[in-house]
């Protein structure tokens, strides 16, 4: 069954919650050309394996763009007939912070790119605020920045879906049938 997505969808959940698989399936159900903007970088064997697994799961029917810090550049080149999956905002934020880039300027470009893109986008992000308080300043700062980014993404999205144990719950808007 073919579905129509709103302009912007946010899929949020904890680590290994099933959010990426849910988001991929949502995009595939649109029965439109699809593009994947990857923000993860493989700095070790574990990430190489994880990225390879995700690519294999997606198959060959996706145009893939690797943009760890500038997903808006990919959005500028993707046709608006495509549904775009940005996976994920958490890696993007990590890349910006660890790269010592201007977070405010990067957020402005990200939100402008998402707003200007004429097609539908699905953004995956991690919920990081439901665990213990981190024991170091860097982790606490990251948690704070991720929480703020998630709130901003949710406010700008037409549909917000929480995924836990592979099960979706619409927090804003309605799940497509």
Q: How far apart are CA 141 and CA 42, in angstroms?
A: 23
Is 125 in contact with 12 (CB distance < 8 Å)? yes
Q: Is the pLDDT of residue 130 over 90?
A: no
Write the pLDDT tens digit of every residue in 34-50.
999 999 999 899 999 98
What is the C-alpha separation between 69 and 60, in angstroms, rounded?
Answer: 24
Could you tell me the CA-to-CA distances from 150 to 56, 63, 121 in Å, in that order? Answer: 28, 26, 15
Among the four given CATH numbers 3.40.50.2300, 2.60.120.590, 3.40.50.970, 3.40.50.300, the one describing domain 8-161 = 3.40.50.300
Q: Calculate Rg over the CA atoms of the chain.
A: 15
Indicate the average pLDDT of the chain.
Answer: 95
Residues taking part in catalysis: 54
Domain residue spans in the chain? 8-161
Whether the Cβ atoms of residue 142 and residue 92 lie closer than 8 Å to each other: no
Q: Report the distance separating Cα 54 and Cα 77, nearest Å.
A: 23
Task: Specify the residue for token string 């605020």.
Answer: 129
In sequence order, the 6+-apart residues with CB closer than 8 A to the CB of 167 are 18
Judging by beta carbons within 10 Å of its beta carbon (0-12, 13-18, 19+), is residue 86 exposed, middle or buried? buried
pLDDT of residue 55: 87
pLDDT at 157 over 90: yes
Q: What is the pLDDT of residue 129?
A: 87
pLDDT band at 131 (very low <50, low <70, confident <90, very high): confident
Q: Cα separation of 93 and 114, whole Å?
A: 15
C-beta atoms surrounding 39 within 10 Å? 24
């Amino acid at each position: 069954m073919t579905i129509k997505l709103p302009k912007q969808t946010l899929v949020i959940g904890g680590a290994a919650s099933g959010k990426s698989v849910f988001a991929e399936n949502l995009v595939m159900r649109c029965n439109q050309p699809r593009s994947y903007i990857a923000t993860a970088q493989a700095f070790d064997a574990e990430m190489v394996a994880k990225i390879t697994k995700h690519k294999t799961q997606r198959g060959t029917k996706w145009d893939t763009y690797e943009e760890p810090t500038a997903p808006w550049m990919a959005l500028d080149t993707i046709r608006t007939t495509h549904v775009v999956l940005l996976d994920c905002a958490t890696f993007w934020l990590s890349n910006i912070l660890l790269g010592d880039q201007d977070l405010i300027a990067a957020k402005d470009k990200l939100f402008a790119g998402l707003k200007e893109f004429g097609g539908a986008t699905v953004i995956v992000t991690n919920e990081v605020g439901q665990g213990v308080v981190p024991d170091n300043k860097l982790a606490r700062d990251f948690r704070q920045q991720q929480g703020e980014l998630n709130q901003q993404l949710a406010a700008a999205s037409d549909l917000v879906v929480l995924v836990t144990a592979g099960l979706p719950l619409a927090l804003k808007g309605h799940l497509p049938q």
